[in-house]
């Protein structure tokens, strides 16, 4: 078996804003395995400034992984404990190599019968006009669940957008989620949560910055608006520490990005621990290309959850890899008539 890796830069169609800044590009890495005429591919999706493995030795570790591929998946995953995105790439690549179809990692009705996964429509930060334009388009596209990034523009304007949605759509018609990306200070957070709760939102992601377990625990205990932990899970590798975090904070939800929490194995650990404490969860992509998104979607379908997932990022880039993945009517499908761009994939694999 031989392994190599290749860097690939994804270009956003439209600059996309979060409370951490505006993104125009997103780098990612592909791990390619070749063995006896077969190939496997996995994506190591890193988010600069957010991923736990955003380190100067990242590419060095990718090279080490390729040089030591004969160790096999399990030993590699153990050695890559603090490199969750490479762990996920390794899992994908080995699944891809061993599959009859290199892109069907988890055969199911999702891949074979076009059974859909419900997803949320994502509204990026921007000025009020831009956010309302996005909202209008998502509603036209048939989304019943909308996720809105907040925390970068004036809070009153964000409340105004939410008010306009609720004036026209009840919670039964449109489920609303908001994501603060840690934008609120602990001192102001409870007051803002109370104002947001007036709009009967589904949840708010990460209202305050990570690492403030006691303050987050107090918010989760007192809030009338359910809180979902997102960034808070990043960098927690030990199962005992994961359990401690959940027992301390007791959130209403956790959000799992496989590239950030150790792939399939890491996500499974979080899910098992959360369910023991009656904490609900959902899975989202982390701006991967369609290679990584495909793996996340197929894995997610096997978990048989009915809650809308965060898997609608495949159309954000100008140079994504064409695939069977397609968003329609607020759901993600694996369309039989659509095909992978094998010319581009072969270019990546050489």
Whole-angstrom CA distances from 288 to 26, 46, 100, 142, 263 are: 8, 8, 23, 23, 13
Please give the Cα distance from 49 to 120 (Å, whole number). 25
Give Cα 227 distance to the centre of its chain: 17
* Catalytic residue (one of 149, 192, 215, 242): 149
Checking 184-193 for CB contacts under 8 A at 24+ apart, the result is 184/151, 184/208, 186/212, 186/215, 186/219, 189/215, 189/219, 190/219, 190/222, 190/223, 192/155, 193/219, 193/223, 193/224, 193/225, 193/227
Q: Nearest 5 degrees, angle CA 116-CA 117-CA 118?
A: 115
* Catalytic residue (one of 138, 215, 242, 257): 257
The answer to whether the beta carbons of residues 291 and 41 sit under 8 Å apart is yes
Q: What is the DSSP letter of 308?
A: P
Please give the Cα distance from 112 to 224 (Å, whole number). 41
Task: Clarify whether 215 is annotated catalytic.
Answer: no
Task: Clarify whether 149 is annotated catalytic.
Answer: yes
Please give the Cα distance from 151 to 241 (Å, whole number). 29
Catalytic residues: 149, 257
């Amino acid at each position: 078996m031989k392994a190599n890796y290749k860097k690939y830069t994804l270009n956003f169609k439209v600059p996309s804003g979060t409370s951490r800044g505006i993104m125009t590009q997103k780098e990612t890495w592909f791990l390619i395995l070749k063995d006896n005429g077969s190939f496997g591919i996995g994506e190591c999706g890193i988010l600069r400034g957010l991923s736990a493995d955003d380190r100067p030795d990242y590419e060095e570790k990718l090279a080490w992984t390729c040089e030591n591929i004969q160790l096999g998946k399990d030993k590699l995953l153990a050695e890559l404990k603090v490199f969750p995105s490479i762990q996920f790439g390794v899992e994908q690549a080995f699944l891809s190599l061993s599959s009859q179809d290199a892109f069907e990692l988890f055969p199911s009705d999702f891949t074979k019968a076009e059974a859909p996964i419900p997803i949320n429509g994502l509204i990026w930060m921007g000025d009020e006009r831009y956010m309302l334009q996005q909202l209008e388009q998502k509603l036209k596209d048939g989304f019943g669940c909308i996720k809105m990034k907040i925390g970068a523009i004036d809070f009153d304007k964000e409340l105004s957008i939410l008010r306009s949605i609720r004036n026209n759509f009840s919670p039964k018609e449109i489920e609303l989620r908001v994501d603060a990306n840690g934008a609120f200070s602990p001192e102001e957070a409870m007051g803002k949560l109370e104002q947001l709760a007036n709009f009967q939102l589904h949840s708010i992601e990460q209202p305050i910055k990570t690492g403030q377990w006691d303050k987050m625990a107090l918010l989760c205990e007192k809030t009338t608006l359910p809180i979902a932990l997102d960034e808070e899970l990043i960098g927690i590798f030990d199962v005992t520490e994961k359990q401690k975090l959940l027992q301390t904070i007791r959130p209403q939800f956790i959000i799992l990005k496989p590239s950030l929490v150790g792939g399939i194995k890491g996500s499974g650990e979080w899910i098992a621990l959360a369910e023991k404490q009656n904490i609900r969860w959902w899975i989202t992509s982390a701006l991967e290309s369609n290679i990584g998104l495909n793996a996340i979607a197929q894995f997610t379908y096997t978990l048989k959850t009915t809650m809308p997932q965060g898997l609608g990022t495949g159309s954000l880039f100008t140079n994504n890899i064409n695939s069977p993945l397609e968003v329609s009517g607020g759901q993600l499908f694996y369309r039989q008539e659509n095909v992978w761009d094998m010319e581009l994939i072969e270019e990546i694999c050489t």
